[in-house]
């Protein structure tokens, strides 16, 4: 049996800003781009979330809901530095750490438990160490498999601690909504609701034939997860999460035709990298740096996974061309593809025929 911890920092960027600037402590902080630049919220402090503000919301909407919100531009270098500190504390507890993003990781603590410590005590120590050494608050889920701990860490945020005892997994999951389950996106949840299945417990009690009809090849995997069983190990090898290609120009470029040629070359380069690695992604990102060194990204998600040149080129150009303005010149341009989805949801496969692509909110952030 494994013992796993899923750890996720609370309101990560916003908490770092509050730590670095005590005037922001206890206040509604909105980290993200300015509303007049069509900025979005990267994250909001919990003081702001009570007003209904959340990540990826346009800043304009956020300010409307929370007029006293304090907008703070993101400082990615600082967040990365804090992230490294946090990950080092995780690695001090166990070698088996799988970072998922800057503020989130799975830890396999089986050896620590086998050496005599209780999972609850390990989790409390970890939260205390993070708080003492970084000032950040960590929410953790503790249990025997990744999918259960991931749900656990989210359930009691902020400063959460949810321990699911071995054998209690199914009972723990049963009352929760099906969309909490790994791999159940909004469309699948909708399909399940039509079948009268609202909770994970209701899902788990369906017969196997029903799973086969609803999920095809994924049937066994989904059923196991609904029952709180999942054999996925904590992967310490870092798997590529994104591929990109970027260029810094020797002199800034503002000319549309020139920029288009560059973006297309970058797109082709990324498509080839994906093909060589046998990967397909859904999200295309362009990274742009202006002559004043302002750097930002724009991204759009396709309705299907791809590694083909054409859709990557077209999407990247659509994103870039929306940013062209008379007099605006660029010193860096990059194209990236992320969001390597697997396994593909069956209903997404049906959408392959659709030619449309751009549906993302504007997203200001940095591509990692």
Residue 10 binds ligand DCP (CB under 6 A):
yes
Beta bridge partners of 245: 335
Q: How far apart are CA 316 and CA 101, in angstroms?
A: 24
With CB under 5 to 8 Å by kind, the binding choice for 158 among Mg ion, ligand DCP, none is ligand DCP
104 lines the binding site for ligand DCP (CB under 6 A): yes
Near ligand DCP by CB under 6 A: residue from 5, 6, 7, 8: 8
Edge-to-edge order in the sheet of strand 138-143? 97-101, 104-108, 4-9, 138-143, 161-163
Regarding 56 and contact with ligand DCP (CB under 6 A), the answer is yes
181's enclosing H/E stretch is: none
Choose which of 103, 246, 269, 362 interacts with ligand DCP (CB under 6 A): 103
Secondary structure of residue 1 in the 3-state scheme = coil
Q: Do residues 277 and 243 touch, judged by C-beta distance below 8 A?
A: yes
Q: Which is nearer to ligand DCP, 72 or 274 (CB)?
A: 72
Determine whether 264 is an active site residue.
no
CA dist., res. 328 & res. 330, Å (int): 7
Size of the site for Mg ion (CB under 5 A): 4
How many Å apart are CA 47 and CA 153, to the nearest integer?
Answer: 20
Catalytic residue among 17, 47, 98, 104: 104
Check if the beta carbon of residue 333 is closer than 8 Å to that of residue 288. yes
With binding defined as CB under 6 A, does residue 155 bind ligand DCP? no
Kindly state the tokens that stand for 123.
């989790």
To the nearest whole angstrom, how small is the minimum distance from the Cβ of residue 127 to ligand DCP?
14
8 binding Mg ion? (CB under 5 A):
yes
From Mg ion, ligand DCP, none, which one binds at residue 164 (CB under 5 to 8 Å depending on kind)?
none
Residues that bind Mg ion (CB under 5 A): 8-9, 12, 103
Query: Under the rule (CB under 6 A), what is the footprint of ligand DCP?
Result: 8-13, 42-43, 55-56, 103-104, 157-158, 365
């Amino acid at each position: 049996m494994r013992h796993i911890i899923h750890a996720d920092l609370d309101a990560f960027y916003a908490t770092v800003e509050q730590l670095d600037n005590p005037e922001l402590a206890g206040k509604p902080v909105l980290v993200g781009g300015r509303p007049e630049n069509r900025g979005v919220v990267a994250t909001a402090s919990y003081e702001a979330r009570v007003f209904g503000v959340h990540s990826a919301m346009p800043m304009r909407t956020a300010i409307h809901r929370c007029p006293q919100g304090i907008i703070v531009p993101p400082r990615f270098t600082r967040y990365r530095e804090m992230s490294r500190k946090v990950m080092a504390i995780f690695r001090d507890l166990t070698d088996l750490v799988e970072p998922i993003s800057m503020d989130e990781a799975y830890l396999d603590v089986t050896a620590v438990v086998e050496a005599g410590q209780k999972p609850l005590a390990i989790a409390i120590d970890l939260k205390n160490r993070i708080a003492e050494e970084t000032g950040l608050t960590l929410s953790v889920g503790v249990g025997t498999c990744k999918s259960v701990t991931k749900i656990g860490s989210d359930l009691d945020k902020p400063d959460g601690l949810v321990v699911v005892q071995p054998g209690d997994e199914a009972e723990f999951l049963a009352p929760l909504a099906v969309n909490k389950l790994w791999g159940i996106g909004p469309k699948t949840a909708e399909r399940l609701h039509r079948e009268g299945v609202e909770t994970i417990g209701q899902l788990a009690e369906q017969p196997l034939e029903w799973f086969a009809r609803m999920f095809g090849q994924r049937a066994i995997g989904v059923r196991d997860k609904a029952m709180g069983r999942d054999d996925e190990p904590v992967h310490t090898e870092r798997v590529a999460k994104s591929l990109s290609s970027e260029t810094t120009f020797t002199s800034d470029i503002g000319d549309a035709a020139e920029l288009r040629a560059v973006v297309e070359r970058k797109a082709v380069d990324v498509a080839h990298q994906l093909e060589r690695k046998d990967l397909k992604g859904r999200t295309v990102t362009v990274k742009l740096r202006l002559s004043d060194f302002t750097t930002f990204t724009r991204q759009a998600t396709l309705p299907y996974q791809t590694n083909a040149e054409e859709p990557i080129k077209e999407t990247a150009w659509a994103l870039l061309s929306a940013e062209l303005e008379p007099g605006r010149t660029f010193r860096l341009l990059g194209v990236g593809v992320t969001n390597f989805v697997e396994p593909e949801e069956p209903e997404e496969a049906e959408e392959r025929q659709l030619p449309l692509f751009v549906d993302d909110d504007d997203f200001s952030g940095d591509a990692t």
